Structure 1
């Protein structure tokens, strides 16, 4: 089982304190919602969990089956869905998925891509369309397809439901619940009531 431990973690940017003395253990098989107003540190907490930044104070540690995991071995465990994840607009959806999933060693056979599209509620016709021609909501579904396809041990979700319609949000909640049932560790930055209710625990920043 995977576990991420925050021990007295603080984070400041140019003298502005964003997080203070966060001490919390996150474990596989549970969904933890991270809530709070804009600027409260939700995205920062996820980036710290992903080791995309070094905390100003304290430590972030990750363990897999009781053994600490660091460096490249840890990066393999991480999957993220963030607004910063860009698709290649001139490439088709098929080419984007083939590249992004293939880089993580995931099968990109046609049948696998079709299964992924079904899970995110898109038709197979979308595969041949350039990503730049997709709506904001459709692009967000493609980003989620990358996360679902890699199915890493840790899922870090930075308000992925903001660009989705009601049906898309329902699909997202279902996939997240299934992932937790498979033992995935879920950190979900959100202020959406339904998403917070789907979580096992909620942190208010």
Structure 2
């Protein structure tokens, strides 16, 4: 049972970080670029507001799953417990906590209107969403493999990227729409409950 819960939590953490946060970084960059051409009363501003609400909520879910996974791993077995404690309190302990705390802070900053509506603040947050510490580690180690620039390579080709990014953005847009529908239904349900209790 504990193994299943750990797998579910790990899947949720990976889904939020790779499919929600990274895509939100790309979306934010595109939104900032296109916002210079949009009217203030545009539907895009409304969509961006919902998108920021989703990211703030996802940040709380991500951090909660991170803490729950620690608790479940500590109760799993001696080997996993020893490995986790070594990562948490070993020489690189700060890297263990850095990514979840960073995600928690930057996602909750989007609750503030000054941050959410400021193009400069949003642009400053984009690298923190796109470049995770895992990706930075992979990039730096792959660049340091060889000193010859001709041997540096990226596994994505141009056609792959032309398919990958639009697909990710489309999936993110669908997630935002589903989040909007759920929140609207919850608001209607709450208002009905308030009316029923007042009667």
Is TM more than 0.5 here? no
- Normalising by the residue count of structure 1, what TM-score does the alignment of the two structures yield? 0.28
- Normalising by the residue count of structure 2, what TM-score does the alignment of the two structures yield? 0.29
Q: Which has the larger radius of gyration?
A: 2
